[in-house]
A and B are shown apart, each in its own frame.
Chain A
Amino acid sequence: MKDTSHINPLENEAIYILREVAAQFERPVLLFSGGKDSITLVRLAQKAFWPAKIPFPLMHIDTGHNFPETIEFRDRLVEELGLELIVRKVQDSIDQGKVKEESGRYSSRNSLQTTTLLDAIEEFKFDACIGGARRDEEKARAKERIFSVRDDFGQWDEKNQRPELFDMLNGQIELGQNVRVFPISNWTELDVWSYIKEEDIEIPSIYFAHKRKVFLRDGLIWSHSDYVYQEEDEEVLERMVRFRTVGDMSCTAAVFSDAKDIASVVQEIRESTISERGARIDDKRSEAAMEKRKQQGYF
């Protein structure tokens, strides 16, 4: 092709941000969940540094309550691309007595991940953690910077954020601090799906319609699984579903869908009247659920 003017401005921006991370930090890491956003980040990083390898490792904070499809996918991707993968387990944090397993109807290991993540940052002395969070996901995330400074305790000071001007990214920090970096801040859910389609990126099968044992609670579709607390009167049904967003099994609800390929998924998202995080059980806890988790050091 003759010139590069057809390239998506969001892709140009994300590549610019990833290159800033590699240049400004000594020990960056890409937080990889096996979800579509972090898979997109891996593709962008490949493009940013070609023909060199991605100059940072991936890290998965593993709740132990994963969809098996995502773990299988994760391991295959890492092997194919010759990447370094670090896995740190929430189970270990529980065993060490650092966090306590939640109990009851809505128990989840989602918020326990924060402790495991902060410990891993300290262990490897990571100074930048790249994440796939997007501003359109949630209103507290809409306030997030592209380079977001966290203190020694991993905390987000939401009322005192660094101004971010033009595309100049200030990554200067003190020892002990770290920066959370969000290269796809300005992408919407539809942008991500369209990119996956255009780039023909492989994603885990749970994003496509499949038959699954589920049960209904509070208007959400929950997976029937050993990891999810289920009342006796909550009837198990077998339905065609898919996932729009993938966290661990205890915090991710499914949607009814017949979309079996990427084209029909993109079409479905385009026509959807429910937001992506409408299917995140963790956000339903309160109006400020995300802001509170972010202050404590969540992704």
Chain B
Amino acid sequence: MEVLKIATAGSVDDGKSTLIGRILYDTKSLTTDKLEAIKNTSKKNGYDYLDFSLATDGLVAEREQGITIDVAHIYFSTSTKSYIIADTPGHVEYTRNMVTGASTSQAAVILIDARKGVIEQTNRHFFINNLLRIKDVVVAINKMDLVDYSEARYNEIKADFEKLMAKREYQDQKITFIPVSALKGDNVVHRSERTPWYTGTTLLEHFETLDRSDVYNTGTPRFPVQYVIRPKTDAHHDFRGFAGKVYGGQLSVGDEVVALPSQTKSRIKEIYFHDKKYQTAARRSSVTITLEDEINLSRGDMLVKVNDLPTIEKQFTATISWMDSQTLSAGKKYILQHGVNKVLAKVDAVHHRIAPDYSGVDAKSDTLGMNDIAEVSFKLNRPIYFDSFKEHRTNGSFILIDTQSNSTVGAGFIS
């Protein structure tokens, strides 16, 4: 079954967790025991309604403060699709978790409180979703019940948001506006009679019709070698299989390929998934490939088609989303993990830091702090084989790892 991953974004108290709880409730995905627990705790906390955020705020600290700190993954399915919702924190200081949640999603929901309209956080959320090139974004104008389901208010917010859209980098992003009340259930799963002026789909209907089959299919396959399988048993004495996931496009038996970095050419001999042979390895499948010739190929190397070479360089510029309390500055060294390949990277220079409210470009700055986003140029100790993030979502992104703490400190999108 098709799996669609959706990231949610919204400011504190915009009702993100309530929206997710509402979806679960209206699709009958909340089991009796979980619903019972929500009823009891809601009552204990003195609410006269069901506090659906209790279904998703899994940590004690989150329930104490009534906010989402870390990404939670929530699962439900309809007869046509399996859904994974990444419930990401709305608080400014947890922006990095939002980037994380969005990085693996094909669609996103940005929530706006109908009383407050477009605020600074909306700017941030939209900027990040656009930077990560999320193909399908729904702007859910929530708490419509608190503005008397006013069409005028809805249109006002929509117009404000459209001003942000004019400035976006990724213009092909599809944006849909839906007036909802997560608390009352309007236009989330069921159509509302209280918004007769709205003729579009409900939130769930929108996702049900979304076809993700062509999302991020660029037609240029990239096959990073993850692991070399050499059984050395009698039955498979000479077997030498290259295990990995196919990105961007498909690979078929007989395709002429180049191994990077050696630039040696060969042809695909066999494609296996488990013990079965296939003619073609589809995009995103975890296969094992054997080649016609014995060539030198190990983890971190890459197989590509002869006429579709990526850029092979030791330096490049990328947009960095910084995620650590220790600042990034020129001259610092990090481990750069590009797919399954690791190299050492030195920060050459920091350019164009984006203003913290993401309204435009800031003055030049030499350092990057937590949650900052900027253009940064790097020099590497060895070349990597990349595409721009625009052309190739997987082969155009990387993470930065601190050499001391081993923590993931930044995400990069190659320009």
Contact = CB atoms under 8 A, between A and B. Distances in A.
Interface of A: 1-5, 7, 9-13, 15-16, 19-20, 22-23, 46-53, 135-136, 138-143, 158-159, 161-168, 170, 172-174, 185-186, 188, 190-191, 272-275, 278, 287-288, 291
28 contacts: A2-B280, A3-B280, A3-B281, A4-B287, A5-B285, A9-B3, A9-B284, A12-B245, A19-B244, A46-B274, A50-B274, A51-B236, A51-B275, A135-B75, A141-B58, A163-B96, A163-B97, A164-B408, A165-B104, A168-B337, A168-B398, A174-B406, A188-B82, A191-B82, A275-B31, A287-B37, A291-B58, A291-B60
B337 A166 contact: no
A139 B100 contact: no
Contacts of A138: 58
B229 interface: yes
A142 B243 contact: no
Contact of B58 (A3, A142, A166, A168): A142
A174 B3 CA distance: 35
Nearest to B250: A3
B285 A162 contact: no
Nearest to A5: B282
Given A159-B61, A162-B408, A47 B284 contact: no
A143 B70 CA distance: 7
B230 interface: yes
Contacts of A165: 99-100, 103-104, 397, 399, 408, 411
A135 B172 CA distance: 33
B56 interface: yes
A166 B275 contact: no
B45 interface: no
B196 to A, nearest CB: 34
Candidate in A51, A53, A174 with the most chain B CB atoms within 10 angstroms: A51
A138 B33 CA distance: 12
Nearest to A187: B75
A80 B339 CA distance: 35
Interface string B264-280: 00000001111110111
B231 interface: yes
Contacts of B288: 50
Contacts of A48: 243, 286
B394 interface: yes
Contacts of A53: 231
Contacts of B276: 1
Given A51-B241, A161-B70, A188-B82, 9 more contacts: A12-B245, A16-B226, A49-B229, A52-B229, A52-B233, A159-B70, A166-B393, A167-B394, A168-B397
A166 B393 CA distance: 9
Contact of A143 (B32, B72, B231, B340): B72
B59 interface: yes
A231 to B, nearest CB: 24
A275 B33 contact: yes
A138 B34 CA distance: 10
B203 interface: no
B71 interface: yes
A20 B226 contact: yes
Contacts of B281: 3-4
Nearest to A292: B60
A10 B69 contact: no
Contacts of A142: 56, 58, 72-74
Given A51-B275, A161-B70, A163-B100, A3 B282 contact: yes
A19 B227 contact: yes
A4 B271 contact: yes
Contacts of A139: 55-58, 72
Contacts of B34: 275, 278
Nearest to A174: B406
| CB-based closest 7 A-B pairs | A139-B58, A5-B282, A3-B280, A172-B406, A52-B231, A278-B33, A15-B286
Interface in B335-359: 335, 337, 339-340
B73 A19 contact: no
A16 to B, nearest CB: 5
Contacts of B241: 51
B166 interface: no
Interface string B64-80: 00000111111101000
Contacts of B274: 46-47, 50
A163 B412 CA distance: 13
A167 B337 CA distance: 11
B305 to A, nearest CB: 16
Interface in B386-413: 393-394, 397-399, 401, 406-408, 411
